[in-house]
Structure 1
Amino acid sequence: MRILLATTSGAGHFGPLLPFGAAFRALGHDVRVAAPRSFSAAVVRAGYPYLPCDDVPADEIAAVYEGAESKSAAEQNLMAARVFTDLAPRAILPGMLAAFADWRPDLLVREFGELGSFIAAEVNAVPQIQVLVGLRRFHDLMKPVVSTHLSPLAEAHGVPVDRLWTLPTASLVPASFDEPGPDVIHRFRADTPSPVPSTQDTPLVYASFGTVSGSIPFARDAFTATVRTLSTLPIRVLVTIGDEGDPADWAWVPDNVRVEKWLPQHEALRGASAQVCHGGMGSVLGALTAGVPTVVLPQFADHPDNAERLAATGAGLRVDTPDTLLDAVCRVLDDPSFRTAAHRVATEIAALPPAGNALDLV
């Protein structure tokens, strides 16, 4: 079967598709990825054939986000939703229609924020599965914005936009971490190696602000302060700085800190006693899957919501400034209840059906 994965240009959006793509390939299916041209290198690096789509012009994005720094978090979320439901589908749809015409996929699996392929699949009567990139609340947030902004484009192609809410919906987020709601969400797990307990007496703390956050100036400053704080503790620290980071900028770290540009997440978490991160869903979910408690210093977007849900499970803590990080990390390392809670969620995740079973939804 030919399966098309479709994503917008963001690692946090592409990441949730990867376990499904890997599982489909393992089952013998032909899997390709359609995405904006700016994201082509990430697709190729992940090992998938790439089908091109256009990016949203930078000036259009700038116009939507004008004055964002003075807006509330809720208003900023609505700005982002406007990009996903209006600007991005208009830019991406021509490439998606070409991909369907040229390659003729049998199934579309798209991350929820990518809506151009939704229209293309409906036009071509191709079944589709949508994969949530985070908590259910962002799915719910999109509903009124989709009705306002996507409807004209969808209806111009003969697609009723309400069809979006009837599609099979998959998620890698376990129910205990998510929120209740009326829509049915089918939950799956990634095929990742089993957690490995530490064999050393000195605790290991893994610190990362994700693939994007570490390159944004205000987040980079918070990350540097985080690593400085961690380096003062009698622990081992593993730091990943992302592809855009320069290890030479970290020459100041003491001997108990190891700096890498990038490592597979399951490898970085191997033997870790705790994680410190920005609150991206990929980082939080990876630690929960490994049974590792986390301290979150939220930066933007869904980070505060993910930190809130993490604290509710008992598997971690939220801090709002690097000044309060030291106490939080010591609490997580010293109080076994955090690891117990993380193990409880890890057990829940391990009991979920594998991502390849998502094919049963169509």
Structure 2
Amino acid sequence: MRILFSGTPAYGHLLPLLPLERAARLAGHTTTFLTHASLESVVAPAPVVGAGATLEVTLVEFHQRTGKDATTDMSPATAGEFFGGTRVDLGADEALAAARGFAPDLVVAETADFLGPLVASELGVEWVSHGVGIALEAPLAEAMRSTAAARAAERGITLTRPFASVDPWPACLQRDDWEPPADRIAIRPQAHESEAASQWRQPSFPRREHLPRVLVTLGTVIDDSEALVKIVASLAGQDVNVIVALPPSAEGETLPVEGDGVHVTGFVPMGLLLQGVDAVVSSGGAGTVLSVLGAGVPMVIWPLGLDKPLNAERTAALGAAEVIGAADEAGAAVTRVLGEPSYRAAAQGAAGHIAAMHPAEEVLSLLTGRRGP
């Protein structure tokens, strides 16, 4: 089978698709990603057929059209026009041409991507929706879909519906009023681990190895060295070792911090970073939250925009995280999280829920079994 995986060109939108893609590739299926070519290294060794603009170019184009900032505005109107409108406008022709060349038998599209559904609908191929975080509220999801459907109609294409919804977000982290859709298939999220040989080695902290280890990361999108420095400064008075992970955009850079208990690194897959970590300070991105909880590690979350406040709220409701409102609050919060066993117990409970979800190999079998004639 030829399976096309389609996603917005951003780490947080593509990494959740990798477990299913890898399972499909190892099972002998031919796979490729439909996204911008600049993200080729993120999904490697899976090949990429490039389509559309980069996320940065799309954001600029959207701002020029509407005067709005899609990185801070999560309203249905804004999200609908950004994902279902502007991104489709900038990538439809290229995506359709690339998909015709690849000739997929199945399309898997992440929740915010509508180039995949567009090409599936045009080619008469079934497609699957793949979540990347907490389930979208109905008004937001409908605004995105209706805008994309209107853009498809302009091209004479009727946007079809997915036959299944693959969901990596565990039920214990969903909203209290959430009802699972009938076509939902829960897939176990996995912390990202590059298939390529990694040069990363856990740092040593001479004469400090007995102290707890704290990972500090603001995710793959937020590039705020000042905030990271403030977080590290707040941790300086605590008896901990600190690993600071910079975002991909900061490649080759470092931070003006020093000390025997501080190690700064560039982008490293989360599956490697989490080894031996006792607590994580993060901005609450979906991928980070799922990776950390999957490892049974408690968190301190400083939510910085978009879906992050909700992710933080749900994680705190489980008792697995403490939420802070400023960078300089991180140190005291880490001390509380490390000192109170209930945080780790709650994180380990969440890890149990995540472990009970279907592994990617099972999901692949379920999807191929559900496909129509």
TM score, norm. by length of structure 1: 0.88
Aligned counterpart for 1:52 among listed residues 50, 53, 76: 50
Q: Residue 183 of structure 1 aligns with which residue?
A: 181
Over residues 291-332 of structure 1, what are the superposed CA-to-partner deviations in whole Å (9 max), with x where a residue is unaligned? 001111111111111101110111111111123222211111
- TM-superposed CA distance for 1:247, in Å, is 5.9
Over residues 13-53 of structure 1, what are the superposed CA-to-partner deviations in whole Å (9 max), with x where a residue is unaligned? 1111111111212222211111124434534xx32211011
Q: Relative to structure 1, is the Cα distance of residues 271 and 262 closer, same or farther in structure 2, using a 3 angstrom cutoff?
A: same
Whole-Å separation in 2 of the counterparts to 1:57 and 1:342:
37
Q: Residue 174 of structure 1 aligns with which residue?
A: 170
Q: Which amino acid is the alignment partner of residue 87 of structure 1? A: T
Whole-Å separation in 2 of the counterparts to 1:192 and 1:222:
24
Q: Residue 297 of structure 1 aligns with which residue?
A: 302
- TM-superposed CA distance for 1:64, in Å, is 4.7
Q: Which runs of 5+ in 1 are unaligned?
A: 194-199
Q: Residue 112 of structure 2 aligns with which residue?
A: 113
Q: Which amino acid is the alignment partner of residue 31 of structure 1? A: T
* 1:110 alignment partner, SS class: strand
Count of matched residue positions in the alignment of Structure 1 and Structure 2: 346
Whole-Å separation in 1 of the counterparts to 2:244 and 2:122:
46
Structure with more helix by fraction: 1
* 1:288 alignment partner, SS class: helix
Q: Which amino acid is the alignment partner of residue 15 of structure 1? A: L
Task: Check conservation: 1:204, 1:235, Cα contact below 8 A.
Answer: yes
Whole-Å separation in 2 of the counterparts to 1:295 and 1:51:
38
Q: Relative to structure 1, is the Cα distance of residues 139 and 18 closer, same or farther in structure 2, using a 3 angstrom cutoff?
A: farther
Over residues 248-304 of structure 1, what are the superposed CA-to-partner deviations in whole Å (9 max), with x where a residue is unaligned? 542532110111102221221111111000111011110000000111111111111
Over 6 Å off, 4+ runs:
none
Q: Residue 204 of structure 1 aligns with which residue?
A: 213
Whole-Å separation in 2 of the counterparts to 1:221 and 1:250:
9
Task: Check conservation: 2:15, 2:42, Cα contact below 8 A.
Answer: no
288-297 or 47-56, larger mean C-alpha shift: 47-56
Over residues 94-115 of structure 1, what are the superposed CA-to-partner deviations in whole Å (9 max), with x where a residue is unaligned? 1221122111111111111110
* 1:358 alignment partner, SS class: helix
Whole-Å separation in 1 of the counterparts to 2:41 and 2:66:
26
Q: Residue 61 of structure 1 aligns with which residue?
A: 62
Whole-Å separation in 1 of the counterparts to 2:117 and 2:260:
50
Q: Which amino acid is the alignment partner of residue 143 of structure 2? A: P
Give the 5 Å matches for 1:1-362. Answer: 1-43=1-43, 46-55=44-53, 59-64=60-65, 66=67, 68=69, 73-75=73-75, 78-138=77-137, 141-147=140-146, 149-161=147-159, 163-164=160-161, 167-179=163-175, 180-181=178-179, 183-184=181-182, 185-190=184-189, 201-214=210-223, 219-245=224-250, 249-359=254-364, 360-361=366-367, 362=371
Q: Which amino acid is the alignment partner of residue 63 of structure 2? A: A
Task: Check conservation: 1:54, 1:95, Cα contact below 8 A.
Answer: yes
TM score, norm. by length of structure 2: 0.85
Q: Which runs of 5+ in 2 are unaligned?
A: 193-208
Q: Residue 197 of structure 1 aligns with which residue?
A: none
Q: Residue 199 of structure 2 aligns with which residue?
A: none
Whole-Å separation in 1 of the counterparts to 2:252 and 2:259:
13
Cα RMSD (Å): 2.5
Q: Relative to structure 1, is the Cα distance of residues 253 and 21 closer, same or farther in structure 2, using a 3 angstrom cutoff?
A: same
